């Protein structure tokens, strides 16, 4: 409980500093709940690759990349329903020195297909301010169109 209060206070300090000084703050953190509470814009990275960019206030409901969704699913909350399982990501992170060709998240993604192992997905804008690098979300009419539509998530 003490740690939770401490984190909330830190978040309030960061947002107050940003507002009063009218400055941009780059905030790097693995705590996705804290990130969404202090960030105007969030850039989600996996193995040094940008996989999704979107407004902080949208991350819980509008994020679509399988890695971002897994992060959201793993948020632990004291007031959560403990009868529901806490999600985890299967498999291991590949060595940063030996990242496979194609999508860097492929060995941990339940939606991985052949194109994911072959081609690295490019960051593509879905809506203004929201971009994702995933073959599930390639707009029709562009290359890599053999990927399926974004209905599976
Ligand atoms: S590109 Fe393929 S492997 Fe990578 S996150 Fe998207 S569906 Fe999963």
Q: What angle do CA 48, 53, 127 make, to 5 degrees?
A: 145
Cα torsion 40, 44, 45, 50: sign: negative
| Atom nearest to 113 CA in ligand 1 | 2
pTM of the model: 0.81
Residues of the chain above pLDDT 70, percent: 83
CA distance 83 to 92: 26
CA distance 153 to 80: 22
Q: Is 46 in the pocket of ligand 1 (CB under 6 A)?
A: no
pLDDT of 146 > 50? The answer is: no
The tokens for 64 are 């679509």
- Ligand 1 centroid – CA 26 distance (Å): 27
pLDDT of 148 > 60? The answer is: no
pLDDT tens digits, residue range 43-60?
999 999 999 999 999 998
Q: Do the strands 124-127 and 41-46 form a parallel or antiparallel pair, or are they unpaired?
A: unpaired
Lowest mean pLDDT among 131-135, 139-143, 144-148: 144-148
**In a 3-state reduction of DSSP, which class is residue 58?**
helix
pLDDT tens digits, residue range 2-33?
465 676 677 788 788 888 999 888 888 888 87
pLDDT at 49: 93
User: What confidence tier does 140 reach under pLDDT thresholds 50, 70, 90?
Assistant: low
- Ligand 1 centroid – CA 107 distance (Å): 9
| Atom nearest to 67 CA in ligand 1 | 5
| Atom nearest to 121 CA in ligand 1 | 1
CB atoms within 10 A of CB 92: 8
The tokens for 69 are 């969704």
**In a 3-state reduction of DSSP, which class is residue 83?**
coil
pLDDT tens digits, residue range 89-103?
778 888 888 888 999
List the beta bridge partners of residue 45.
50
């Amino acid at each position: 409980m003490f740690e939770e209060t401490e984190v909330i206070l830190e978040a309030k300090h960061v947002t107050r500093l940003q507002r009063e000084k009218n400055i941009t703050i780059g905030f790097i953190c693995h705590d996705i709940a804290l990130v969404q509470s202090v960030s105007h814009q969030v850039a989600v990275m996996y193995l040094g690759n940008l996989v999704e960019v979107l407004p902080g206030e949208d991350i819980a409901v509008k994020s679509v990349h399988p890695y971002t969704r897994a992060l959201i699913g793993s948020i632990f909350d004291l007031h959560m329903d403990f009868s529901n399982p806490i999600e985890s990501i299967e498999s291991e992170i590949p060595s940063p020195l030996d990242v496979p060709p194609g999508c860097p998240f492929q060995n941990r993604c339940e939606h991985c297909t052949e194109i994911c192992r072959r081609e690295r997905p490019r960051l593509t804008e879905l809506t203004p301010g929201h971009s994702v690098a995933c073959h599930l979300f390639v707009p029709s009419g562009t290359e890599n169109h053999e990927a399926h539509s974004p209905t599976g998530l």
